[in-house]
Amino acid sequence: MSANTPMQRMCWCALDNGQPIRILVTDDHSLFRAGLRRLLETEPDMCVIGEAPDGQTALGLVENLRPDLLLLDVAMPGVPGLEVLRRVMAETWHPRVILVTAAIHPSQVIRALQLGAHGIVMKESTSRVLFDGIRCVLSGGYWVGESAIENVAETIRIIFTTLAKTPSGESHELTERELEIALAIVEGLSNRDIAAKFTISERTVKNHLTRIFDKLGVSSRLELGLFAIDRGFVKSPQ
């Protein structure tokens, strides 16, 4: 595909203190893509380097262009958005991903975060929300809706404003103490806080977390919290 085609455009914007954020826009509506590109390029620290009308094209452009950020719709023709996300995040190198969508079920939010997305922005949001979300995600944070997310508990609370789950009693073979620690993680407690709560050492907390991660197949506190809520074996924080 040549650099002059609609799917791959070159731009030369740059900041005095560094390079702009290189963004790939993926959406099946050409008018939305074009409008989003024009909007993003009003910001001096952002540059759209490519557009994709479907999931398969998006996967190819991510590999070829290596953008810093992928803006990805959920309802994509061919390869659905969450499957694009899964494949992208399975690669050794991958961009940060923000889902930009007209509608998304809270369970899909949980799944997207589990797969590795760092943000979800609704299409009805203001341009400022989108810009702030992009900068938050590129600085290493999480963004859901209209807010930066600082910890697992806050993420879970936002999801549960629209999704209520009842604990199923399923423990996934965790011990009683491991279940207690999983709940403490959902509540946003640090290892030190957990150690104090259960009168154990921080080393013991770390050992418990290692076993929990191994049993559940997760690799971070965020994934653990989301897994526990999604599978319904701990209650949501009040």
- Reported as a single tens digit per residue, the pLDDT across 69-81 is 999 998 888 898 9
Amino acid sitting at position 162:
T
Domain membership of residue 94 (yes or no) is yes
Q: What gap in Å lies between CA 223 and CA 123, rounded to an integer?
A: 26
Domain membership of residue 136 (yes or no) is yes
Assess whether 71 and 188 both reside in one domain: no
Q: Cβ(72)–Cβ(47) under 8 Å?
A: no
- pLDDT digit string, tens, across residues 115-169: 888 889 988 888 888 999 999 899 888 888 877 776 655 665 555 543 433 344 4
Domain membership of residue 48 (yes or no) is yes
Domain membership of residue 26 (yes or no) is yes
Which CATH number is 62's domain given? 3.40.50.2300
Assess whether 138 and 207 both reside in one domain: no
At which of 150, 184, 205 does a domain end?
Answer: 150
Residues of the chain falling short of pLDDT 50: 1-17, 161-169, 236-238
pTM, full prediction: 0.63
Assess whether 121 and 191 both reside in one domain: no
Assess whether 68 and 182 both reside in one domain: no
Matching residue, tokens 């050409």: 30
Query: Domain of 200?
Result: 176-231
Matching residue, tokens 């050794």: 92
Sign of CA dihedral 40, 132, 113, 139: positive
Assess whether 124 and 194 both reside in one domain: no
Nearest to 230 by CA among 160, 161, 144: 160
